[in-house]
Amino acid sequence: MEKKVLVIEDNTQNMRLITYALQRGGYRVISAASGEEGVDAAIRERPFFIIMDIQLPGMDGLEATRRIRASPANGDIPIIAMTSFAMRGDRELLLAAGCTGYFEKPIDPLTIVDQIHEIIEEESL
């Protein structure tokens, strides 16, 4: 059975590309174009993991992550952040908000699934 994963990303091109990669990796992708939408979907669908763009219009990725983590049912869902750039204290900021790990854009569709698996496995160790 295909595992549900949630991708929260406002950039449609990136969403499309990452969806191709995840589907190729055997996942069913639920997409959300905004933070609010993503939070609802996460609580409703209880995906296997969530890919979260940090730079979102309106509610940003960090806030969305915090809200998802605040829901008792979703406390342990891996949330992998996507960042456009590395900024000072990024890593700490992301982890503090509740992210499991992160990767940087641009994504390489050929390697992204491996990267995600690495992050989740690291976490589950």
Partner 1 sequence: MSRPQRILFYCPAIILVLFVCGMFTSRAATAHKDISPAVVAEDGRVAIPLTPDERSWLTGHRTVRVAFDGYFPPYSFLSDTGRYEGLAVDIFKILADRTGITFVPLDKPLWKDLFAAAKRREVDVVATMGHRPEREQWFVFTRPYIFKSMMIMTRKEIRDISGPDDLAGRRVALVQGYQYVRPLLAKYPTIIPVFVDSMLAALNDVAIGRADAALIFLGAGYYLKNKYQLANLRFAAVYESKKYTDSIGVRGDWPLLASILDKALASISEEQKNEINRRWLGPERVVGISHRTVFIFLAVAVGIVLFLVAGFLLWSRTLRRQVMRKTEELRRELAERRKVERILQENEERFRTIFNAVNDAIFIHDAETGVILDVNRKTCEMFKMPRQEILSADVVDLSSGKPPYTQEAARDWMRKAAAGELQIFEWQSKDATGRVFWTEVNMRLAVIVGSRRIIVSAREIGRYKQAQAQLLRANRFLRTINRCNEIIANAVREQQLLDDICRTLITSQGYRFSWIGYAEKNEGKTVRPMAQAGFEEGYLDTLEITWENRDRGKGPTGTAIRTGKPVLCRNIATDPKFAPWRDEALKRGYTASIALPLILDHHVFGALSIYVGDPGGFDDKEVEMLVNMTESLSFGIGSLRTRVDLDSVISELEQHRLHLEELVAERTRELEAANFRLKEIDRLKSLFIASMSHELRTPLNSIIGFSSILKEEWLGPVNAEQKENLAIILNSGKYLLALINDVIDITKVEAGMMESMPTSFVLQELVVEARKIAQVDIGNRSIAITEEIPALTMHTDRRRLLQCLVNLLSNAIKFTNQGKITIIGVVTGEKEQEQILEIQVHDTGIGITESDIATLFKPFVRLHPPGDATYPGTGLGLYLTDKIMREILAGEVLVNSVPGRGSIFTLRLPVTLPRTENEQRTKEDEHGKKSPGH
Residues that bind partner 1 (CB under 8 A): 11, 13-14, 17, 20-21, 24, 84-88, 105-110
Q: Please report how close the Cβ of residue 122 comes to partner 1 at its closest, in angstroms.
A: 12
Residues in the chain: 125
**52 bridge partner residues:** 8, 81
Residue 14 or 34: the one with the smaller Cβ distance to partner 1 is 14
The smaller minimum CB distance to partner 1, of residues 13 and 72, is found at 13
Q: How far is the CB of 23 from partner 1 (least distance, A)?
A: 9
As given in the structure block, the two tokens for residue 69 are 């983590």
Nearer Cβ to partner 1, position 28 or 69? 28
CA distance 123 to 63: 21
CB of 121 to partner 1, least distance (A): 15
Q: How far is CA 50 from the centre of its chain?
A: 4
Cα distances from 12 to residues 21, 77, 94, in angstroms, run 14, 24, 23
Helices first, then strands: H and E counts in the chain:
5, 5
Q: Residue 44 or 117: which CB sits closer to partner 1?
A: 117
CB of 70 to partner 1, least distance (A): 28
Three-class SS state of 101: strand
